[in-house]
Amino acid sequence: MADEKKLDTAAIEAVGTVSKWLSDQGFDHEFLGLDASGVEMIKVEPDFLIPFASALYAYGFNSLACQGGYDSGPGADLVSFYHLIKVSDNCVKTEEVRLKVFLPRAEPKVASVYWIWKGADWQERETFDMYGIVYEGHPGLKRILMPEDWVGYPLRKDYVSPDFYELQDAY
């Protein structure tokens, strides 16, 4: 009995403060642990990103430090992540959390957080351009780094580089 109580206490301590707050508010999620810097990582289902993001904004996470994506491997999911920071009135960083949304490679779609954090504008466009993740509701989702007629998404691990590059209007 004492061992079970120790395990329960350890499990509660392992969950971060933001994850605990989300659970207390009724948000179902998966706590992924802490990264090397001690930042909480939370897995969010794609359909629930906007409610989670809105709740965290109301909780005080008023700054989107970074939005990006990565490829988990050939045939595996694509991931869209959001690194959020609570910044107080005196600009002191107080708390951080990272949301991760795992998306199927065949049709990677998730709602845009542009309407919550305007800084997501170009970051979501870059992630779309490099990984092909579609941010639904984004006001101007189009390529930002590659030419608009480029085929494929260069940072996907299953991307095959073309044998040649046609230079148009090079001079």
pLDDT computed for residue 165 by the predictor: 62
Inside any domain, residue 169: no
Inside any domain, residue 129: yes
- Report yes or no: 33 and 13 within 8 Å, Cβ to Cβ: no
pLDDT computed for residue 90 by the predictor: 76
Inside any domain, residue 94: yes
CATH code at position 22: 3.30.460.80
Inside any domain, residue 89: yes
**31: number of Cβ within 10 Å:** 18
pLDDT computed for residue 103 by the predictor: 98
Mean pLDDT score, 74-93:
88
Domains identified in the chain, total number: 1
Q: Is the pLDDT of residue 31 over 80?
A: yes
Inside any domain, residue 154: no
pLDDT computed for residue 99 by the predictor: 98
Inside any domain, residue 142: no
Inside any domain, residue 77: yes
- Report yes or no: 139 and 114 within 8 Å, Cβ to Cβ: yes
Q: Is the pLDDT of residue 142 over 70?
A: yes
Q: Is the pLDDT of residue 163 over 90?
A: no
Domain hosting residue 46, numbered range: 2-136
- What's the predicted TM-score (pTM) here? 0.85
